[in-house]
Amino acid sequence: MRIDLSGTTALVTGSTQGIGMAVAAVLADAGARVAVNGRRPERVAEAIDTLRGRAPGRDLVAAPGDVTTDRGTDDVLSAVPEVDVLVNSLGVFGSAPALEISDDEWRRYFETNVLSAVRLIRATLPGMTERGWGRVLNIASDSALAIPAEMIHYGTSKTALLAVTRGFAKQAAGTGVTVNSVIAGPTHTGGVEEFVYELVDRDLPWEEAQREFMVRHRPMSLLQRLIEPEEIANMVAYLSSPLASATTGAAVRVDGGYVDSIVP
């Protein structure tokens, strides 16, 4: 099975680190021209240098801008006006006592994790449907289905993102454009390492801290380890390709078996 995205342009939000950077790398390796996005131009430039340093032939373009705002979204789309594959990877997460989460914090999570995706889908979907082909992928989370007590605000925002996906898939029905979510399980990123150490002893070596975190806070994982970002990116690449032409409106799990369900 060969994934070939030659001749396509992909925009990956939040791609200066973590899952987003892994997605950008895998899509570029499949032949796509990939727009790397982050809030700060210098951070985007650093990410592109890192990605090209690992594989010099990658076709990458800088698309800095804060997609949680209209102005920032315009900046991004001016750098990449025609998008064939949109991956909404930008997201924030963190733990907080449920009764102490402020209204402003709830709004920040929804602006970042939900409305940024809505804003970009609204901007790029018409062009995809007019061309008769396109892919929209929203990076969701196991927390959308199994709301963690320590981050209800995060889980709820990711649940909303699943609904956004299903709704826009209906909007794109019959056009050749597919819209899907990827449900990522607990994933090994720099931000997650910090999150793990918020919940376990900071004096523990990383491997021990990871094991304790999984046992105490994510015991339902069948992998019993954190997922690597590249493992999420591989599923995104498949769903971005012509091979996934009959999959739309779906929430596809790359969760290490964390969600205790027999349906995808």
Phi-psi region of 174 (alpha: psi -120 to 50; beta: other; left: phi over 0): left
Phi and psi torsions of 106, nearest 5°: -55, -45
CA gap 197, 209 in Å, rounded: 7
CA gap 5, 34 in Å, rounded: 10
53-58: Cβ within 8 A, 24+ apart: 54/25, 55/25, 55/28, 55/29, 58/25, 58/28, 58/29, 58/34
CA gap 183, 139 in Å, rounded: 6
Catalytic residue among 109, 154, 197, 258: 154
CA gap 144, 158 in Å, rounded: 5
Is 258 known to be catalytic? Answer: no
- Give the active site residues: 154
